[in-house]
Amino acid sequence: MAACCIFDEDEVCIPTSSGGFKYGLVVESSEYISSDDEESEPPEDIVKRGQVKVAWHPSGDETVMDEDKVQFI
């Protein structure tokens, strides 16, 4: 498996259905995964290998998604 290429505090974006982009900030990456972290968070908020947690601008909503779904800015 390849090492993660997106890290905490990286700026990322995803294309929207309207042809624009949605921008966000990586708040957690899979770089330092620990089994202790998995016990303290709800299942939908757990970042696994190959995933990142992104806080979207301007709402601040957080989403866990695959690294290959976001574009590094």
| CATH number for 35 | 2.30.30
Between 72 and 23, name the one with better pLDDT.
23
Question: Is 4 within the bounds of a domain?
Answer: no
Between 22 and 2, name the one with better pLDDT.
22
Give the angle subtended at the CA of 27 by the CAs of 25 and 33, to the nearest 5°.
Answer: 140
Question: Is 59 within the bounds of a domain?
Answer: yes
Question: Is 1 within the bounds of a domain?
Answer: no
| DSSP-assigned states of every residue in 7-54 | -TT-EEEEE-TTSSEEEEEEEEEGGG--HHHHHHS-GGG---TTEEEE
pLDDT, one tens digit per residue, over 11-22 is: 999 999 999 999
- Give residue 63's identity as a one-letter amino acid code: T
Are 45 and 64 a contacting pair, CB within 8 Å? yes
pTM listed for this prediction: 0.81
pLDDT, one tens digit per residue, over 24-41 is: 999 998 877 766 655 666
**Count of structural domains, the chain:** 1
